[in-house]
């Protein structure tokens, strides 16, 4: 696939990491969900770039960024990029995996974070022990292990509607966008390859030490355990708060971009 328009590349210690950098003003970093890439934010980038410097990386192993060949952490990669761009402290905005990366970076590199907006997640170690996420990850592993790419894509898209809907109740544009990005990312990998990601641990005990504003934004159709974890994360931060958008599931910024953008811009204007 040809390189997406506007992408730049940061030469990290383990290959080039792709990112968009557009607009001007206070930096806002948009961190995409798992198996997607910076295009996940196509509905947000123009709205934000009118008043902010918007940085949208492809997480290692996703989109146009290099795969890992040695141990790495999500927070370490993002911190290195922000320091390279002299873009901290920044507001971090993440959905699903991106939300976990935002929280990880807030805990590991607080000097680089001005505030955080987290959706579809809480902390990374919670995400990897939460029963709903474990079930999703097990289905991914089963289908990939069998070489069933279509089955894997179906499993990937199945989380989009949320807990109380089916995929056929979703705007077909949402799964179409997700499938396109996921196919690009999964093509970079081979079944059974080594996972070099060093998972974070012990996050929850450190959450009360957060000293910057945290906003959690989730759809009302997310699993109850996820909404409870989001409330817990927001309650631990000074001035933290949570917002829910009615009738949307896991990828709320894709389903209701205008409503999501309005919440995000309101939060940014309050900082």
Q: Residue 134's pLDDT is what?
A: 79
Higher pLDDT pick, 206 / 113: 113
CA distance 58 to 38: 5
Quick one: DSSP state of residue 72? B
Weakest mean pLDDT among 152-156, 175-179, 208-212: 152-156
176-205 mean pLDDT: 90
Pairing of strands 27-31, 15-22: unpaired
Q: Helix, strand or coil for residue 142?
A: helix
- Look at residue 3 and tell me if it is in a domain: no
pLDDT > 90 in the chain, percent: 69
Q: Residue 146's pLDDT is what?
A: 66
Pairing of strands 27-31, 53-57: parallel
What's 257's domain CATH number? 3.40.50.1820
Nearest to 40 by CA among 14, 16, 20, 23: 20
- Look at residue 205 and tell me if it is in a domain: yes
Give the range of the structural domain holding residue 189, as residue numbers without chain letter.
8-269
- Look at residue 12 and tell me if it is in a domain: yes
Q: Residue 67's pLDDT is what?
A: 97
CA distance 261 to 255: 11
pTM of the predicted structure, to 2 decimals:
0.95
- Look at residue 238 and tell me if it is in a domain: yes
Q: Which of 56-60, 151-155, 168-172 has the highest mean pLDDT?
A: 56-60
Q: Looking up tokens 């929280």, which residue turns up?
A: 103
- Look at residue 2 and tell me if it is in a domain: no
Higher pLDDT pick, 28 / 126: 28
Q: Is the pLDDT of residue 265 over 80?
A: yes
211-237 mean pLDDT: 93
Count up the domains in the chain and report the number: 1
Contact criterion met (CB below 8 Å) for 112 and 90: yes
Mean of the per-residue pLDDT values for the chain?
Answer: 92
Q: Residue 168's pLDDT is what?
A: 83
**pLDDT band (50, 70, 90) for residue 133:** confident
Per-residue model confidence as pLDDT tens digits over 71-113: 999 999 999 999 999 998 999 999 999 999 999 999 999 999 9
CA distance 9 to 130: 34
Q: Is the pLDDT of residue 269 over 90?
A: yes
Q: Residue 118's pLDDT is what?
A: 97
CA distance 243 to 213: 14
Q: Is the pLDDT of residue 124 over 90?
A: no
**pLDDT band (50, 70, 90) for residue 22:** very high
Q: Residue 1's pLDDT is what?
A: 60
Q: Looking up tokens 């030490």, which residue turns up?
A: 209
């Amino acid at each position: 696939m040809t390189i997406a328009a506007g992408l730049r590349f940061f030469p990290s210690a383990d290959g080039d990491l792709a990112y968009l950098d557009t607009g001007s003003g206070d930096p806002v970093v948009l961190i995409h969900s798992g198996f997607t890439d910076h295009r996940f934010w196509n509905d947000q980038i123009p709205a934000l770039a009118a008043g902010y410097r918007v940085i949208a990386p492809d997480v290692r192993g996703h989109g146009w960024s290099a795969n890992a060949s040695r141990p790495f952490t999500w927070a370490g990669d993002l911190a290195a990029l922000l320091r390279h761009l002299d873009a901290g402290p920044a507001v971090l905005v993440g959905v699903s995996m991106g939300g976990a990366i935002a929280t990880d970076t807030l805990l590991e590199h607080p000097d680089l974070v001005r505030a955080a907006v987290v959706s579809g997640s809480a902390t990374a170690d919670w995400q990897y022990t939460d029963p709903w996420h474990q079930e999703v990850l097990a289905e991914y592993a089963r289908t990939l292990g069998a070489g069933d790419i279509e089955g894997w894509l179906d499993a990937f898209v199945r989380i989009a509607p949320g807990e109380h809907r089916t995929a056929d109740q979703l705007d077909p544009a949402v799964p179409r966008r997700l499938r396109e990005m996921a196919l690009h990312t999964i093509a970079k990998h081979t079944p059974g390859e080594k996972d070099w990601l060093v998972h974070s641990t012990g996050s929850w005990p450190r959450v009360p030490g957060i000293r910057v504003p945290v906003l959690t934004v989730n759809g009302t159709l997310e699993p109850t355990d996820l909404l409870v974890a989001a409330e817990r994360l927001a309650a631990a931060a000074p001035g933290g708060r949570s917002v829910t958008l009615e009738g949307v599931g896991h990828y709320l910024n894709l389903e209701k971009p205008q409503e999501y953008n309005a919440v995000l811009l309101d939060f940014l204007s309050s900082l």
